[in-house]
């Protein structure tokens, strides 16, 4: 997610450029910024064991995918009991001749934590567990999720993190240990926000963050906002001079046409990455690869064309089957019965909680699935139908 000072010939992390393409990854939530290692490009996403998309081109015209990048480390149970290895919002940093993978552990509220692992390579990774970076108990003011690690202009290392639980905070890191440098925290954005990313351009630090409802398909209201400051620690002001820590923020990306609920801004290798929900594909979450230009000191996202030729489907991480264009579910916000369309009877389905736990599975013997027994929250359903498969999201009231 970061635009940084990069110090190795192994890594090409780039400053802002322009082209506009879009790639689609069903189930792609909270993508990292794009990274390059040995001629390969990587984007890491929320998923079981962290979900990775890899390509030989920054346009991701061809690609491979993998889940379970890292295991479910046993120490996490100390901070988030019941965590099943479904990591949120991963991000990377290069330092000490290694890549550091920061990730979030959460079941949807507090307690939660951020951990880190390191590897000398992304193309041939060997991840070493480095443990917890920061954590939140049930009484902690801030939520420990959505890490964004970056180098400041003076060469110090920082992390922005946080959630709708009292906003986004900034804390300095020790580059030798990859952990917290001191206990001082700066609130840089508030009012129900999360998914922070810090960039630097033209004498200003820019904070990008999300407000609104995520992960609800076409009902998602996620919107990316931005503010800027001449000081790393703020205050960050929007175009109208409102402080982002007091509810301010200028809209950077909002729902437009088929591109619903854009979220989790990241920038690397000259590319803007974020997820959206495809209004032309039943609200399936997908990965956008876009660009940024600057006008009068403010960022402007490239325009994505609204045609089917502008994106490529990537096979589901659970199956090498073709990603179905015909299977759909409704409603996306459900009380009792979830209706499945476009699938034959006797096909299999699996329903996962936001933590990655399998909560229900079976054979589709009718058009509806009874989900009344599920607790309130967001779920994903994986449906296999002959030679096709689909992963879709819904919210249980």
Q: Are 1 and 265 in contact (CB under 8 A)?
A: yes
Q: Are 66 and 49 in contact (CB under 8 A)?
A: no
Per-residue pLDDT tens digits of the chain, which is 397 residues long = 333 222 222 222 333 333 344 444 445 889 999 999 999 999 999 988 999 999 998 888 778 888 899 999 999 999 999 998 999 999 999 999 999 999 999 988 899 999 999 999 999 999 999 999 999 999 999 999 999 999 999 999 999 999 988 899 999 999 999 999 999 999 999 999 999 999 999 999 999 999 998 887 888 899 999 999 999 999 999 999 999 999 999 999 999 998 999 999 999 999 999 999 888 888 888 888 888 999 999 999 987 654 433 333 332 333 233 334 467 787 767 888 998 887 776 788 888 775 456 789 888 887 889 999 998 777 778 777 665 666 677 778 7
pLDDT of residue 383: 79
Interior/surface letters 364-392, b for 16+ CB within 10 angstroms, e for the rest = beeeebebeebeebbbbbbbbbeebbbbb
- Percent of the chain surpassing pLDDT 70: 84
Q: Which residues are catalytic?
A: 30, 194
pLDDT of residue 356: 52
- 377 φ, ψ (degrees, to nearest 5): 150, -175
- The overall longest dimension of the chain from CA atoms, in Å, is 62
> Look-up: residue for tokens 């920054």?
58
> Look-up: residue for tokens 């963050």?
209
Tokens of 346: 């006797």
Distance spanning both ends of the chain, measured CA to CA: 32
CA dihedral 326→264→99→40, nearest 10 degrees, is: 40
Laid out side by side, the sheet with 40-45 consists of 35-37, 40-45, 51-55, 64-66
> What is the tens place of the pLDDT at every residue in 91-130?
999 999 999 999 999 988 899 999 999 999 999 999 999 9
Neighbours of 228 (CB within 10 A): 24
pLDDT of residue 64: 84
Neighbours of 340 (CB within 10 A): 22
Q: How far apart are CA 63 and CA 13, in angstroms?
A: 19
Cβ-based burial of 182 (10 A; exposed 0-12, middle 13-18, buried ≥19): exposed
Domains along the sequence of the chain with CATH: 35-310 (2.115.10.20), 322-396 (2.60.40.3080)
In 3D space, the residue among 116, 93, 100, 90 whose CA is nearest the CA of residue 13 turns out to be: 93
Q: How far apart are CA 278 and CA 250, in angstroms?
A: 24
> Look-up: residue for tokens 């951990």?
115
């Amino acid at each position: 997610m970061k635009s940084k000072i990069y110090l190795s010939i192994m890594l090409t992390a780039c400053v802002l450029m322009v082209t506009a393409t879009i790639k689609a990854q069903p189930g792609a939530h909270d993508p990292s910024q794009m990274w390059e290692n040995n001629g390969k490009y990587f984007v890491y996403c929320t998923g079981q064991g962290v979900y990775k998309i890899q390509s030989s081109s920054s346009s991701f015209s061809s690609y491979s995918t993998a889940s379970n990048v890292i295991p479910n480390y046993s120490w996490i149970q100390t901070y988030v009991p019941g965590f099943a290895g479904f990591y949120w919002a991963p991000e990377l940093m290069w330092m000490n001749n290694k890549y550091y993978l920061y990730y979030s552990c959460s079941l949807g509220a507090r307690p939660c934590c951020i951990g880190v692992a390191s590897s000398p390579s992304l193309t041939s990774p060997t991840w070493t567990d480095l443990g917890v970076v920061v954590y939140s108990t049930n009484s902690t003011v801030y939520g420990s999720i959505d890490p964004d690690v970056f180098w400041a202009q003076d060469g110090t290392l920082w992390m922005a993190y946080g959630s709708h639980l009292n906003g986004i905070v900034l804390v300095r890191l020790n580059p030798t240990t990859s952990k917290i440098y001191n206990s001082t925290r700066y609130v840089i954005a508030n009012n129900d926000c999360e998914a922070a990313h810090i960039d630097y351009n033209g004498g200003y630090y820019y904070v990008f963050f999300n407000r609104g409802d995520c992960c609800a398909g076409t009902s998602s209201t996620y919107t990316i906002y931005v503010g800027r400051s001449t000081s790393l620690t703020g205050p960050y002001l929007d175009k109208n001079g409102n402080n982002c820590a007091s509810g301010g923020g200028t809209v950077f990306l909002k729902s437009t046409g088929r591109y619903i609920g854009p979220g989790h801004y990241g920038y690397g290798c000259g590319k803007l990455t974020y997820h959206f929900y495809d209004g032309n594909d039943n609200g399936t979450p997908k990965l956008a690869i876009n660009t940024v230009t600057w006008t009068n000191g403010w960022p402007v996202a490239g325009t994505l064309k609204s045609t089917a030729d502008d994106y490529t489907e990537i096979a589901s991480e659970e199956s090498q089957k073709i990603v179905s264009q015909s299977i759909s579910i409704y409603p996306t916000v459900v009380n009792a019965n979830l209706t499945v369309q476009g699938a034959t009877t006797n096909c299999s389905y699996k329903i996962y909680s936001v933590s990655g736990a399998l909560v229900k599975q079976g054979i589709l013997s009718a058009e509806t699935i009874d989900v009344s027994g599920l607790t309130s929250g967001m779920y994903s359903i994986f449906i296999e139908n002959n030679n096709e498969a689909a992963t879709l999201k819904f919210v249980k009231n």
